[in-house]
Every structure is written in C-alpha cells, then in structure tokens.
Amino acid sequence: MSALPSTQKAVALPAKRTPLIEISTPVHPPTTGEVVIHVQWTASSPLDLHRSDGGLLIPSYPALQGSGGVVGTVVAVGSGGDLKGLQIGDHVSAFAFHGDKEANQQEYITIPAYLASKVPEGISLQAAVTVPVNLVTVFHSVTADLELELPWPIPKNWKPKEANKPILVWGASSSVGIFAIQVLRHWGYTNVLAVSSNQHHEYLKNLGATVCFDYRKPDVVNNILDYLEDVEEPKVPYILDCIGSLNGTLEPLAKIAQRGSRVAVMLPVIIKDASEEEEPVYEMDVSKCLPGKWANGAIVRGVRTHFYLQNEFFKEKLQPEILPALLAQGIIKPNNQRIVEGATLVERAQNALTLLRSKAVSGEKLVYRVSEA
C-alpha cells in the first residue's frame, strides 16, 4: 500500500442555507475489502441542493458534502477480502453514499470495493463520473419499485413478459431518465413513452424512446391518454417519475395512473422550492402526497436508491461488473457534461449548487474537479 496523507481538504456545510466551507478531514486507510480512491472528478446531484437548502438527511453540522458520485484512481487497497479485482493505479468511478469517509467532495474516499467500477478504455474520467449514481438508481427503481425484470447476464433469446407494455418516463431528459430509456431499450422493453421539453425529443428517440411528449403543453395528460386510447387498462402500467415534484409531476401522473399502475417516484417529493426568504418543503412519504387523488389500486412507491445494497446480487455485481460492461460495450452512454469552473473546490461546489438552484441544468450533468491527477 502506498503512503497516504493523514489529512485532506473537504467541502462541508456549516449550517442549513449557509455558504459551503473547506475543512480538514482524516484520510482513512483501507480495511479488509476496502479501497482508497484519490478523487479527481465529482458530479452534482439534486440531493446536494436538498441537503444545502433544506437540511435533508443531515443529522449534524458541519456536514460533509457530496452525493453525486466520484471518479479517480485507486491509491491503496485493504489486506484481504473481496477487492473485486481492483489494484493500485486503476481508474474507477463510484457511487458511495454513507458519508464520512465516503463523502464525495473530498480528496480521498475509502469505500468497500463493491461500490467501485473500473472505467473502461475509451471513456474519459469526466464522462464516467456521470454514470454510477443514476444508473444504479435506474436498476433499483425498475426492479424493486416497478418490479420489472433486468436479468444479468441477459439470457439468449430472452424477451421480457412485459416487453410491449407502456412504460412512462416523466423527466426523461434528466440523468435518471436518460439512463432509464437506454436500460429499458437494451433489456427489450419496446414501448417507452418519454416526457420532457421538446428540445430533447430527437435525442431521446435516438436513445430508444418510442414516442415523446412535451410536459410544457397544458394538454400533455390528454395527449398521453389519447395516444393510448386503444390500450387496455391500466393504460400505463409502469410509470417512472424522475423529478418528484408535487405540482410538476405527481399531479399530472395522478390523472394518468389507474388501478394496477405502478408508480416509482424519486425522493424527496418537492412540495415547495426554496426561495430567498423561505426554506423548501419536502416529503419522504409518498402516501402523504395527493391523498384521495390517486386511483384506487394504483401502487405509488418512493424510490430509495440507497437501499439497493439489500439486493445481494446487485451489491456484488451492479457496480463492479454490470456498469463497466454496459459502458465498455457502448450499450450505455454517459450523460452530456457541463464543467463547473471555480478557483477552489469549495467555489466549484458552490457554483454547482447555484446552477442547480436556478434550474439551469437540462439534458446534462454538472461535473467539476476535486483534485488534479
């Protein structure tokens, strides 16, 4: 194991709705089955904004920041345990979410090897950092919440039982939506309805969307239902809400879902956005959202991606094996990236929050440097 520094720079939130600060944190040597990654890039996540503006899931302050995934170089490995074939010098991406030594906006993270993915040849680190969080979210939400099959490896001549059933992806130009369309297409689901702004429709169709609808049109719900006029009920048996907004997505989806529809909603549900004067309002229990407005028999679930490790197969295979294979084979393409600039790591992290807060991001992922190679 190469020598590690004892301390490092990290981004922290000193209190809710306050500017980010730089603090010094310890670098944790790896234990059995762990690796240490020298972080070069990280990506922004809506959860970063929810933590900063609303204090979501923060037990105490100062709170280490970062939930959007990382990419970097393995610089130390633990003695023994299942290291998933990782060695010092490997370039890896990671979706690590337990905070502390796994917090993404610091120079080094120490994680179990099963949370890392080797970056395939031909994929830049800047592009690779856009993949792990959202691709894992897709696999978890599709299998655990929508209860659709995504077997690995895909059996020869395999066709899903629900291959032709309508699957509605609302927020299809979000990072989760973009990966959802690609995953569903590859696994043989042939009737994917995408909802996004019109500017992304051609791109989404190229990824595998069957038909696209513009959420900005006031009659978008009627347009979707008219398109499915001859389909038996439930007209949309599977709905993936990649946004989780009470007014923006849940209200129209409650008019589409019928008895037997399964709806997977990204958490938290945004009840009210933050303003200069007021804190945001979130809800983590979807059953409290629009009570009485959902059809009897519609199944509405809140997506909790961090629970994906309860699936032992995904724990051992999803990041170490499935993710890099899909990237290497070109089945999944990374998100488009917008590089966030700034003189320091804290400035870059703060600028990323500002862009998220202003809703200036569409069809791309915010990425920025943590440390140089």
Q: Which residue has the tokens 């790896």?
A: 30
Residue 103: alpha-carbon gap to chain centroid: 16
Backbone φ and ψ of 40, nearest 5°: -105, -40
180: nearest Cα among 11, 287, 305, 62: 305
> Which structure tokens are listed for 238?
């599977």
- Provide the 3-class DSSP secondary structure of residue 248: helix
Residues 188-241: tens digit of each pLDDT: 999 999 999 999 999 999 999 999 999 999 999 999 999 999 999 999 999 999
Instruction: Out of 3.40.50.2300, 1.20.120.140, 1.10.490.10, 3.40.50.720, select the CATH number for domain 134-306.
Output: 3.40.50.720
Give residue 363's pLDDT. 86
Q: pLDDT of 262-306, one tens digit each?
A: 999 999 999 998 877 888 999 999 999 999 999 999 999 999 999
- pTM of the shown model: 0.97
Q: Domain boundaries in the chain?
A: 7-131+334-369, 134-306
Would you say domain 7-131+334-369 falls under CATH 3.90.180.10? yes
**Alpha helices, DSSP H only, in the chain?**
46-54, 125-128, 132-140, 175-186, 201-207, 220-227, 251-256, 312-317, 323-328, 345-357
CA gap 224, 195 in Å, rounded: 9
Buried b (16+ CB within 10 A) or exposed e, 178-216: bbbbbbbbebebebbbbbbeeebbebbeebbbbbbbebe
DSSP symbol at 289: S
pLDDT at 372: 74
